Structure formats: structure tokens, C-alpha cells
Amino acid sequence: MSHNIDQLCINTIRTLAMDAVQAADSGHPGTPMAMAPVAYTLWQRYLRFDPNDPVWPNRDRFVLSIGHASMLLYALLHLTGVQAVTAGPEGAGGPAVSLDDIRNFRQLHSRTPGHPEYRRTSGVETTTGPLGQGVAASVGMAIAGRWLAAHFNRPGFDLIDFNVYTLAGDGCMMEGVSSEAASLAGHLKLANLCWIYDNNKITIEGRTALAFSEDVAARFASYGWKVLTVGDANDLETLSRAFEAFHQTADRPTLIVVDSHIAYGAPTMQDTAAAHGSPLGAEEIRLTKRAYGWPEDAQFLVPEAVPAHFRNGIGQRGTESRKAWADRFEAYQTAYPEPADAFQKMQQGELPDGWDRDLPVFPADPKGDASRNTSGKVLNAIAQNVPWLIGGSADLAPSTKTRLTFNGAGDVTADTPGGRNVHFGVREHAMTAVLNGMALCKIRPYGSGFLIFSDYARPAIRLGAMMEIPVIHIFTHDSIGVGEDGPTHQPVEQLASLRAMPHLIVLRPADANEVVEAWRIIMQLRRRPAALILSRQDLPTLDRSRYAPAAGVARGAYVLADAGGGLPRIILIGTGSEVSLCIAAHERLSAEGIRARVVSMPSWELFEQQDRDYRDSVLPPAVTARISVEQASTLGWAKYVGPHGIGIGLETFGASAPLNDLQKKFGFTVEHVLEQARRLIG
């Protein structure tokens, strides 16, 4: 066995990856083996990270965008002795990844799942796997780092100055989201961001030459990045010089292109593409270990010198850095108590005292206003009291009404990183991944666009929901109310799609005061993202002296209007712009002596959280005549209207025409609702 301690550590990472993938009979051993020298150099020599406290705020972030190479990260977490501190399957205390966890790689309830999962394993900064998501999220982390520094650093107190390192592969470079994110990072000159590109020229199908021939270095240079090249992934000194060059670069992000060979060190390997995505096999592992000078039959071997070496490197350096930071923060609390208190509240996911003191109350108004407009007013009222609420849109802020307009809000730019308005450009996918990265650094981010373009953002929304981070997604132009823009811009299936996503709270408020209550709910979410669905067209502001208070939004659905004299004969259920339509039909039915109830149901998810008694009080099982009214797909409404009910919605795409014409064409009129109601009750 090699006595060179660097090589011993690298080969330990490699052999753990080989053995774990082989034991699981599943996984990707090639990239962890090839990138072991790169990861070792970064972690042992440069990464500012304390294994004893892997969540301290000023740690450097390491993102494994090539999530299929998860064993590379798990091996590092084990060998550096990272301690478990997060709530989740691993509990609190003890190693984040034990040797038994590595033996149970990819097994049920394992702390070493097939791809890294945030909250499941301490030391994992973000959930990765879908290629490109990690690099895009790392841009959000870098934006957050600069924003935090601008807001909290004071003379003599550099509270925040962390760097973000991301390991990416050919697949990440091919995915469009990485191009969007890299373009934004270059524009903002994020000098605290370093992507390490494993240029191994292999994907699942084979050589990248099958589909990928661009000059990646030239592309990133055109984005405004500093580009460095390391010709051999095993050259630790050249790697070190590249990381030093990154540290010395103050005006742009850095891309380090590292040439490697999949499963380097396995000289008999014939099919490198297969090695990328499948176990090596027992014989190949023996031959590879022989090439490393490793005991051929040893499995999950960790020489004693390896953890000790890491303790004396990243461990000692990280502990000293974290303790120095803690001392600095203690002095900062004395010198600057107010920002120190705000910083701590951010870290704990809390809100400032009085955050909701300026929430408006909207008077009844038959004309009303578009819910996107009222949302903009509420957002500005909240943001003035929650300094870390920041965000923007995918080039649509004038339409989504998400610009913060109060004095001092400002823009996030390369020169003013502490602004409150982020201009993401026409980049819905990258915007949403960037929001995830910002939320992971404890900023409360929001992003906005048209509901139809939630399809472009959906992969990152899904990962945010999986990570249970409180990102705020604001979607306007929520229906055929878009009118003349036509079916390309009229969402139909998007509401059903978002409602199908676990952990995501979807809210479609019916009027201005429901918008206020929706924001009140959203701001108090700590471990769930939310999608706020808003109209372009005006919605009447309901007279709450006649109808139930909008506070019912907190329960997902509530009885908005009712008829006396016992149970209603029919229930009309609406969301958003269709609630006022249900109210109009209710008034007509009541005038005819028909007992009708209107239920406003802005959030299915919140309604399902209520107990059975409450749900039955809103939707009595004995009342089977029910109609749902929503300008969207009827998919899913059968749960609430039941087998005898009717869903008035869209079964096809929309059309280009004025709104009134569209409402008549698709049946969103009082007359059509009344016709269906009378048919139901005979």
C-alpha cells in the first residue's frame, strides 16, 4: 500500500466508492474514482468547512452537481468525520455518514441515498441528481453570500465572506439550465463562485462526441468567467495553483476545466461508458486495487492514517475558522445588536417582530383590482419589514407586479450586491434553481413569471419542494383571462400539475383580502415552498360584512356565502377569479328560494391539513349536488365534487379572443353555472 499520505487518502476515497457501488449492485463508480484527487485537494487544502459544525453560517459551500457521483461526497463526509446536526433520519449527533452507512449505499432508509439529499445527510448542501440543478443552485448561494456580506459586514467585522465550489460534469454543461445560470453569474461578476468541470468526455451513451462538440472554455469566457485548465486530474499541485488563482480573482466567477479519465487507474477497463453508470464487477475491482497497491480482497478499508490526516487538515483548519468566526460574531453582537439579531432570526427561519403590521385591508369594491396588483402592494408592505425578503422575475416584473418600489430597495447588480430586486432575465429555469440556492443560505427569496411558464421552472420547483425550503413562487396571468394572447399563454393543466407536487402549497386567492391572507400564510411557512397564483384581470373585492372573513384562507377552504334554513341543496366551489362568479350564481339561486352555499377553496393542500370535522362542515357529505368552477383543467376536482357533482373547467386548450368571448365559449358565465346547478338539483 502506498505510503504517500495524499495518494493514500485519494485511493481510500476511490476504493470506498468501488466497494459501495459493488455492494449495492447499483450506482456510478467512475466519476468518484476520477475526481477523487480533485475533491481531496479542495477539501483538504482549501475548503473552509468545520466537520464538527457543518452548518455554521460562514462555511464554504461544496455542491456536487454531478449527483450520480454521490459516493465521492459520502466518502469525504465519512473520512473527514462530519457530524450529524440536522433533523432527519440521522437524528442529531454522531457521524453524518458512518462506515455502515457506506456499506448500505442506496438502501432503504439509508443516509447514503443514490443522489445527495438535503436534510437527509448532514454536509449535503443541496439535493442534486438532475444534471445542471446543482450548478444553478450554486449561483443562488453565491448571490446570497454577496448579499449577506453587503447587509451584515461592518468595518472590522467580515461576518460573511464564504466561497461556493461546485463540481460539474459534461451532463451539467449540456443541460440548458447551467447555461442560463452561468450567463447570470458572469453578468453579476460573482467572484465567490468556482465551478470545477470534470471534462471526462463520457456520458451514459458513450463518448460525448456523439452529441457535444462545443468549446466549453470559450463559451464561459464569453459569459465573462475566468477560465483555467488542469490537464490531469491527478496533478495535485496544478490543481492547487488553480484554486489559488480562483482566490486571487476578485472580478468574475471562475471555471476550472479538469481533464480526467473515467475510472482512472483501472487499466483493464474496456467500456468506460459502462463504468460511468454501473458497478465495475468483482474481478475489475481486484485488478484496480492491485494497480493502486491496495489489498485486493479488502472491502471498505479505511487506513487509520487517513481520518487522522483529514483531522489535521480540513478538521483543524475548519475548527479554527469556525471558532474565530464565533468570537467575531460575539463581539459583533455587542457592537451591532440590531443587525446581529436580524442575522440570527434569518439563520433560524424566524420573522422580525411586527413583520405584518402594515398589511393592508381592502374595502369592498365591485370593480376591484387584479390580484397581481394587490399582491404587489402586499409584497411591498411586507418587504419593508422583512429585510431579507428579496427576489424578482424572469423579465416580467412590470406584469407580475413584483418589483419592490420603496426607497432604498435598489437592484442586485455586480456593483450593488445588496439590492432587493433581482433581475433574472428570461431564464425561468435558472431563476428557480437560483432561488433554491438563496433559500439554502437563509435568504427568503421569491421569483415570478406567468403561470404558463411554470413549466419551464418545474424541475427546480420540484427539488425545492423535496428539500422543504420556503421559496415563494409568484405566478400571474393564471387563466384564459390572458385573453387575446391565446392558448400558448393560457394555462390549463398547470394548476393540477402544481397541486400534484408533494410539499408545495398552492394558493389561488379570490380577491384582494384573500391575497393578504395568502401572503400571511406564505410568510410563516418554514419548511414548505408556496406557489401564489394570481390574475391579470380585475376581481371584485368582496364585501366582508356580507360574506365570511378572508381569514378562512388559512384553512384552505371556507364557507364564504351560505343560505339559512339547514343544509344547502347545492354547493358551488370556486377558486380565484371564479369565486365571484359563484357568488353571482348564489345570489340568483337564493332569489329563487334555492339554498346554495359558496365555498372559496384557495388551497387544496391547506384544506387537506384540516381535521375531518372541519372538512365535513365545509363540504357536508349529505350534500352531493356540488359544482366546482375553475378556469383550468378539472383534473382532481372529482375528490371535492364527488361522483354526482360537476366540474366546470377546461377540457381543451384556450383560444385567442377577448375575455368576455372566451368566458362564453368555455362556460364561465352565471347562466351556465345556473343551468348546471338546476340540472343537478332536478
Q: CA-to-CA distance for 202 and 204, rounded, in angstroms?
A: 7
Cβ atoms of 517 and 551 within 8 Å: the answer is: yes
428 catalytic, yes or no?
yes
Grid coordinates representing 549 are 372573513
Looking at this protein, which amino acid is placed at residue 460? A
CA–CA dist 560, 567 (Å, integer)? 15
Rounded CA gap, 32 and 35, in Å? 5
In degrees and rounded to multiples of 5, residue 619 shows phi and psi of: -125, 80
Burial 522-559 (b: 16+ CB within 10 A, else e): bbebeebbbbbbbbbbbbbbbebeebbebebbbbbbbb
Distance (Å, whole) CA 185 – CA 430: 11
Neighbours of 93 (CB within 10 A): 8
User: Which residues sit opposite 199 in a β-bridge?
Assistant: 259
Q: Which of 71, 69, 94, 75 is nearest to 84 (CA)?
A: 94
Q: Report how far residue 432's alpha carbon sits from residue 115's, in angstroms, rounded to the nearest whole number.
A: 20
Q: Catalytic one among 90, 284, 428, 605?
A: 428
- Alpha-carbon gap, residue 326 to 494, rounded angstroms: 46
- Cell representation of residue 109: 432508509
Cell numbers 461508458 correspond to what residue? 273
Contact at 8 Å (CB) between 392 and 421? yes
Contact 366, 540 (CB under 8 A): yes
Supply 463's cell numbers.
427539488
Residue 167 one-letter amino acid = L
Give whole-number Cα distances, 613 to 257, 620, 621, in Å: 60, 9, 11
* C-beta of residue 142 within 8 angstroms of C-beta of residue 193: yes
The greatest distance separating any two alpha carbons of the chain, rounded to the nearest whole angstrom, comes to 92
* 667 within 8 A of 581, measured Cβ to Cβ: no
Cα angle for residues 287, 293, 299 (degrees, 5° grid): 65
Q: What is the rounded CA–CA span in Å between residue 640 and residue 645?
A: 8
Catalytic residues: 428
